[in-house]
Amino acid sequence: MAYPSMGEAHRRITDYLNKFCDTVSYQDVASLAQLFSFSSNSPSLLSLADALNFFQDANRLIKQSDKFSQFGEILAPLFRSLQSYRLGNLVEAYHAFEKFANAFIQEFRNWESAWALEALYVIAYEIRVLAERADRELSSNGKSPEKLKGAGSFLMKVFGVLAGKGPKRVGALYVTCQLFKIYFKLGTVHLCRSVIRSIETARIFDFEEFPRRDKVTYMYYTGRLEVFNENFPAADHKLSYALTHCNPLREANIRMILKYLIPVKLSLGILPKTCLLEKYNLLEYNDVVQALKRGDLRLLRHALQEHEDQFLRSGVYLVLEKLELQVYQRLVKKIYFIQKQKDPSKAHQLKLEVIVKALKWLEMDMDLDEVECIMTILIYKNLVKGYFAHKSKVVVLSKQDPFPKLNGKPVNS
């Protein structure tokens, strides 16, 4: 990096200080937010960082002016953070940024209006991203990564500031979404419960008053939590809300939602079209869908095995694995229709040995006892209506609706 002259460095630092004070004075939130956006790597911030690393006495410039010194507790650590960030010392950059963020929050408390919310959003985003990068630096040096956890603690303080009455409360959902990202990254999703409870039960909140961007993100993460808890109707509601209200031009975000919504829909007996899977590059679900259509247990197991790592990382493997019962139902249904064409009078009497033969044709080697057990489960879970004639090893199907549709309801557990 090329350092500026002493005079140029002094000018850049003074310009930044003046701009900061002016944006606060005129409540220019868009300009204020840009002053904190490290991750944008904007030329103006990088040139300021070079000036700070060359001049090395910015604190004197802050202290010698009443205009600047009133914001000294904010600006001094912000400058230290930017210096370290430019030099690639991300742990030091995080430490200083956290001090700056805490000082900004104290000032934000004193402002009666919510004019600076967008700037606070940038701080919430930057502290999370900077913490992630600092943790990678710590891990590469053989040290324990702990900064992301610290960023979570800071954001909980921010949430407390915003979650009261008044216009600032509209910012609570954005901070909540940043907390979700941290908790999912750390694998501490149980910590989501307290902020969810505050959002969903507090009377001061009207969910529809929040910005659409934040509502979509919130519903996406809470939908994922419902998938984790195997509450599929709730997951369907939340993820469908996120999909419906997502910006249609944000295809990457739509794909993220569908990655969880598709398994939920499958568990409810709703199959996506192939064109949808192709459009959003979700072809890992194609064989799963085809297995459900055909009643092909071999294909389902092959799909789960082929994409096992991907499904496990997403947390949907167990959801997809439980689709086996629907595949068995489809297979039995196909056998029923074939028999109905050959001999309608005996269509409702399915011999277990016929099901065993069908499974062997699919290279699924099961004996009569195993098939009887599967049929018992299907009847118990209301995927098949009928009863056993144990002596003759025959399933007698109901003549009315022998294969009930799920109709958007999960298989009974």
pLDDT per residue as tens digits for the range 286-323: 999 999 999 999 999 999 999 999 999 999 999 999 99
Nearest partner of 376 among 345, 357, 356, 352, judged by Cα: 352
Give the CA dihedral 392, 395, 399, 400, nearest 10 degrees.
160
Which of 37-41, 57-61, 315-319 has the weakest average pLDDT? 57-61
Residues near 28 by beta carbon (within 8 Å), at least 6 away in sequence:
22
pTM, full prediction: 0.88
Q: Which domains does the chain have, with CATH numbers?
A: 6-210 (no CATH), 297-397 (1.10.10.10)
Dump pLDDT digits (tens) for 233-271: 999 999 999 999 999 999 999 999 999 999 999 999 899
Mean of all residue pLDDT scores within the chain: 90
Q: What is the pLDDT of residue 413?
A: 46
